[in-house]
Amino acid sequence: METTKLYIDGAWREPSTDARGTTVDANTGQPIGSYPVGGPADIDRAVTAARRALDDQAGWGGSTPAERIAIMRRFADAIERRRDAIGALIAAEVGTPLERATFSNADAATGLLRFYADVLERTEIEDLRPAGRGHSLVRREPIGVVAMIAPWNFPLSTLFFKIGPAIAAGCTAVIKPASVTALDSFLIAEAADEAGVPAGVLNFVPCDRATGDHLVAHPGIDKVAFTGSTEVGRRIGRIAGEQLKEVSLELGGKSAALLLEDAPIETFIAELHDLSFSNNGQACTNNSRIIVPDALYDDVLEAIRAEVGGWTVGDSRDASTVIGPVSSAGHKASIERYYGIAAREGARTIIGGGSDSRDGFFVQPTVHGDVTPEMTVFREELFGPAVSVTRYSGDVEEGIRLVNDSEYGLSGGVFTADEQVGIEVARRLQTGTVGWNIANFDFGAPMNGRKASGVGFELGAEALTRYFHYKTIFTPVVPARIGERAPLPGARTGAAVPA
């Protein structure tokens, strides 16, 4: 797949630079396509287009919720027509097994657009409230032009965590896809164009880190929505903070699953893949630390070894594959470096831990036992197909302390036969989401990171509020029109947003 132009202001346009990026098949290490890499001038052009669309009261800036809902549903339909192509491309780019690559990206994108269209359908843009004197008309207005920076591991689901509520709210966006997965963004731009998303509403500019910083710092950007590493998130937060911009930062994790002494081991093992090894370990919500009581330790360790040892590691397009390759040669090297660190620090390798010599970026699924809180693999996000298993006495308070002994707080789990105890322990864990006897993910409920795992939240109907400014209009009487636009005297009208 070769692309030569950038999608900016509703059209395919020549980039300002001759630079190109290459996408590599994680299964083979061979190139599968290339794309243009934008520069600061392309960012400037995209921000200008997004601002123009936002301010166009005869178009997107004056659009009604009904008009935006219609566009979002057409956009979802257009992505759905590209479902198979998107899934196959991401399976190659990231190494995600094909079925999961498809539903976690293409299906997630369409589902999120339809979900936020439904949310907008039941959201009041204005509501009237009684005040001490007269009334307060509370109005929801788009927060503005949003810089969206997506990661490579789930490139489309994480992007549509942002696009869905943003365009529902009436915002516009400049999107920087990750370099590893930039090609799939061109399929999304094609879908947006086919669906009639108005010019300037969505602009796609793959670029390097320096140009990405130019986007974040651009004075025409009102909000930054970022998913990625904690290190980069901190840098974005500093830049945005100096300019008093809104930010949503969904960052790294080192999540833990806590087993109590009555934990249903069979249930835990049935959930293990999605709990701790999702996307070949390349998911920030994976519970990569397993905290196990002394009474169950040997049995749980053997059950994990047997389960992981039975998984097929292979080409992401093979239906029998459970664990595919990781995304790049550099990422493979980083994961295997952690395996070496774990061994040197005294962790016991239960299975895996070596180097996979096949072509492509394959990594051995690995289980480290006897891991203590001082070890690197207990502390740092390895981001690969590996878990560390730590024992504790069985005292619930000790288990909770071990789970919370982390600079991160994104996800977590608790396994116990007692529902009330499980829910109460979940309440005590310092993390944004927790599963009791289940590994789950729900677009309909908020997800937020605590501590070094982020600022703000995404998902759920509540995420729409992250893309609104709230305005209060004081009035001595009940307005004749609430939630409806009225023409100003002498104002010229233009073409309406396509419905």
Query: Which sequence positions are flagged as catalytic?
Result: 250
Do residues 193 and 84 touch, judged by C-beta distance below 8 A? Answer: no
CB neighbourhood size of 448 (10 A): 21
The rounded distance, in Å, linking the Cα atoms of 365 and 354 is 9
Q: Which residues contact 76 (CB under 8 A, 6 or more apart)?
A: 109, 110, 111, 113, 114, 117
Neighbours of 395 (CB within 10 A): 11
Dihedral of alpha carbons 360, 361, 365, 366, sign: positive
Beta bridge partners of residue 172, listed in sequence order:
145
100, 186, 250, 283 alpha-carbon torsion, rounded to 10°:
30
Q: Fill in the amino acid letter for 428.
A: R
In terms of DSSP bridges, do strands 468-475 and 447-448 run parallel, antiparallel, or are they unpaired?
Answer: unpaired
State the Cα–Cα distance between residues 146 and 173, nearest whole angstrom: 5
Q: Which residues pair with 115 in a beta bridge?
A: none
